[in-house]
Chain A
Amino acid sequence: MAEITLAQALNKAIDEAMAEDAGVFCLGEDVSAKQGGGVFKITSGLTEKYGEHRVRATPISETAIVGAAVGAALAGQRPIAEIMLMNFVGVCMDQIVNHAAKLRFMSGGQTNVPLVIRTTTGVGVGFGGQHSDMLEAWFAHVAGIHVVTPSNAADARGLMRAAIDCNDPVIFIENILCYGLKAEDPGPGYRVPLGKAAVAREGSDISLITYGRTVLDALAVADELAKEGISVEVIDLRTIAPYDEATVLASVRKTGLAITLHEAVRPFGTGAELAANIQEKCWDSLKGPVRRIGGTFSPVPFATVLEQAWIPNKGQIIGQIKAALGKG
């Protein structure tokens, strides 16, 4: 099988879903062929196949984009709305939090919102303070939304299909720095179930629990430490919320030590929730406190040197692992 990039994987998953189900359609700023098929080209080629009604280029109106997607989903369609960059979700938060997430519950199950909101972000591209945040914790904190992010091209294809299939709203976070990652193309119809984590690398000394781009750092660190005889288990959550608690707890019960790692800032981050839950449920197996690694608690800076200092780096991860193992 051929290799594909993560960006191509997303495009293929959407294309395939649109071919199979006439109710699947895309909407967002610049998404149609006229504007070049999306800022990051995720929807390129789709207008030609499915027409402008199913690849709707919208005005710069995030509230109307997500609101329209909610309405269309209520009417039984499966919209895929693109919010160009994650920082702009603030503009349409009401539609996501008060409507998409809650309509199933508030209607007593009479209606549902099968909606995918695709959005992109990532630290390390020099976009500065208003285009780089990882805001997954905002959504993980709201009951009724699935929060998903892939760390590799194969998962991207499978998770996108599962997100489109899902009868609940899904926030699908794409890290710009991951778009070029390549993997074997898992092929048409491939699905990765939502809510299922991957053991990205097995290990026995410590569990490193992460998702998205930092999975790459975690795997690189695990490779490096293996040479020193330290065995790191890497858990890729894939679905951040509601997450695969069973896989996380099983890993920690096995290794007895855990570190959470994400690009989002550490205070009040998803790592805090993971750590607290692990501490409550695996207290008997833990050999030390659960540690958390996250981005620096400041806006994402512009200067490359500052941006690199902001983001959790491999040295930090290695340092924390060794400290946890008493080898610091």
Chain B
Amino acid sequence: MSTIDRAKLLDIYTRTMKVNRTDEKFRSLLMQGKVAVMYYCVRGQELVSAAAMAALTDDDYVVCTYRGQGEQTAKGIPPELWWAECLGKVTGTCKGKGGTMHITYPEKGIMVTTGVVGSGLPIATGLAMASQNNGDGKVTLVSFGDGAANIGGFHEAMNMAQLYKLPVVFLCQNNRYGEHTAFADHTSSESISARAAGYGMRGVLVDGNDVNAVYPAVQEAVDRARAGEGPTLVEAMCYRMMGHFFGADFSYMPKEHLAEMQREDPLPKLRQVMLDHQFSEEELDAIVADIDAEIDGAVAAALAADLPGPEELAIDVFETPLVEAR
């Protein structure tokens, strides 16, 4: 049984299924050729981002990566804005100027989505530094992959965050791959979380397929950060069940391992936890049906929306629009 209360479980379940249904929808649109954009699948990682976002308030800050659909959806970006941005429409969060790899929505605390591996960590320390400076009580969570842990900025940010005891949570979603390179082929240490010790930081390793592991770990890290006890490095073990981005070759992923990891799929496991807590099959299905209906509406609106006009090129470069694009 779970130590997580029923209301929270329902919250996490809803967020997880929003992430999953968004992912499924995106892949189906790509497969049917209805849209043609870069999309980084999150199949297999839905629970990690949903449970992590459920540990934050609306005001807390999040920095994520190109594979950030999970954080973005679970943190609460309205689907119609999210889809419009992914399709490059003027009605999107960023007027179509950010796209799938650069989603921003400060209203729900999504401050940066970066396409540069590992760049989010230093920025997250800065958001947390601002919170420490002005005492606003916000926590910043930065999500990144196992590959990112080998970038210099990771180490600089870890050291700095611990040095200043910043209210930041470093969430490594260890999906076992950095593009085509398997974890053991790019990392000298046994785990990413073990590296925390090198910075005098708290490091936690959890099963990213188990809601009872992910949520309490992130919640504790968030609570500690908010209480002024400094940063935590949480590493959630999960699995990227598809190629690096949609359509990419993934023949380098051993079939036996994939099959083994599919048995660890977080979604049926989460459903079982819900059933164990006396949520009915009908209740759970109804939640998904509502989500699907909302996504369908958002996609239809995004497909019908206008494209940004060329005048946008001169706007938002500087505060004052450029008179002439040089």
What residues of chain A have their CB less than 8 Å away from a CB belonging to chain B? 22-23, 25, 53-54, 56, 58-59, 61, 63-64, 66-77, 79, 94-95, 98-99, 103-112, 143-144, 146, 166-168, 242
Most chain-B CB neighbours within 10 Å: which of A67, A166, A168?
Answer: A67
Q: Which B residues lie within 8 Å of A167 (CB)?
A: 319
Is B133 a contact partner of A53 (Cβ separation < 8 A)? yes
B75 interface residue, CB < 8 Å from A? no
How near does chain B come to A212, taking the closest CB pair, in angstroms?
A: 21
What residues of chain B have their CB less than 8 Å away from a CB belonging to chain A? 61, 63, 92-98, 102, 104-106, 111-112, 114-116, 119, 121-134, 140, 152-153, 156-157, 159-160, 163-164, 315-319, 322, 326
Q: Which 6 A-B pairs have the closest CB atoms?
A: A67-B122, A71-B126, A75-B130, A68-B126, A108-B94, A107-B104
Is B317 a contact partner of A144 (Cβ separation < 8 A)? yes
How near does chain B come to A96, taking the closest CB pair, in angstroms?
A: 11
Is A71 a contact partner of B122 (Cβ separation < 8 A)? yes
- Other-chain residue from B114, B116, B134, B160 in contact with A68 (beta carbon distance below 8 A): B160
Is B318 a contact partner of A242 (Cβ separation < 8 A)? yes
- Other-chain residue from A76, A79, A99, A110 in contact with B105 (beta carbon distance below 8 A): A110
- Other-chain residue from B127, B128, B315 in contact with A109 (beta carbon distance below 8 A): B315
- Other-chain residue from A53, A64, A71 in contact with B127 (beta carbon distance below 8 A): A71
Q: Which A residues lie within 8 Å of B157 (CB)?
A: 64, 67
What are 12 A-B pairs with beta-carbon distances under 8 A? A66-B122, A67-B125, A67-B126, A71-B128, A72-B127, A72-B129, A94-B116, A98-B119, A99-B116, A104-B318, A105-B317, A242-B326
Q: Which B residues lie within 8 Å of A144 (CB)?
A: 317-318
- Other-chain residue from A59, A103, A109 in contact with B112 (beta carbon distance below 8 A): A103
Q: Which A residues lie within 8 Å of B152 (CB)?
A: 63
Q: How far is the CA of A58 from the CA of B315 in the complex (A)?
A: 35
Q: Which A residues lie within 8 Å of B111 (CB)?
A: 71, 74-75, 111
Q: Which B residues lie within 8 Å of A110 (CB)?
A: 93-94, 104-106
Is A95 a contact partner of B129 (Cβ separation < 8 A)? no
Q: Which B residues lie within 8 Å of A103 (CB)?
A: 104, 112
Could you count the A-B residue pairs with CB atoms below 8 Å apart for me: how many are there? 155
Q: Which B residues lie within 8 Å of A143 (CB)?
A: 317
- Other-chain residue from A53, A59, A75 in contact with B61 (beta carbon distance below 8 A): A75
Is B119 a contact partner of A108 (Cβ separation < 8 A)? no
- Other-chain residue from A54, A71, A75, A108 in contact with B316 (beta carbon distance below 8 A): A108
Most chain-A CB neighbours within 10 Å: which of B92, B112, B121?
Answer: B112
Q: How far is the CA of A10 from the CA of B61 in the complex (A)?
A: 33
Q: How far is the CA of A72 from the CA of B136 in the complex (A)?
A: 13
Q: How far is the CA of A99 from the CA of B163 in the complex (A)?
A: 24
Q: Which A residues lie within 8 Å of B102 (CB)?
A: 106-107
Is A67 a contact partner of B153 (Cβ separation < 8 A)? yes
Q: How far is the CA of A99 from the CA of B98 in the complex (A)?
A: 12
- Other-chain residue from A23, A58, A104 in contact with B134 (beta carbon distance below 8 A): A23
Most chain-A CB neighbours within 10 Å: which of B93, B104, B122, B124?
Answer: B122
In the complex, which residue of chain B has the Cβ closest to the Cβ of A105?
Answer: B316
Is B159 a contact partner of A77 (Cβ separation < 8 A)? no
Q: Which B residues lie within 8 Å of A61 (CB)?
A: 156, 159-160
In the complex, which residue of chain B has the Cβ closest to the Cβ of A97?
Answer: B116
Is B124 a contact partner of A71 (Cβ separation < 8 A)? yes
Q: How far is the CA of A98 from the CA of B92 in the complex (A)?
A: 21
Q: Which A residues lie within 8 Å of B317 (CB)?
A: 104-105, 143-144
How near does chain A come to B116, taking the closest CB pair, in angstroms?
A: 5
Is A68 a contact partner of B98 (Cβ separation < 8 A)? no
Is A111 a contact partner of B92 (Cβ separation < 8 A)? no
How near does chain A come to B165, taking the closest CB pair, in angstroms?
A: 11
Most chain-B CB neighbours within 10 Å: which of A25, A56, A71?
Answer: A71
| Given A64-B153, A99-B119, CB of A74 within 8 Å of CB of B92 | no
Q: How far is the CA of A145 from the CA of B233 in the complex (A)?
A: 33
In the complex, which residue of chain A has the Cβ closest to the Cβ of B163?
Answer: A59
Besides A59-B156, A70-B126, A99-B112, 10 other CB < 8 A contacts?
A22-B134, A64-B153, A71-B126, A75-B126, A77-B133, A77-B134, A104-B316, A108-B95, A143-B317, A168-B318
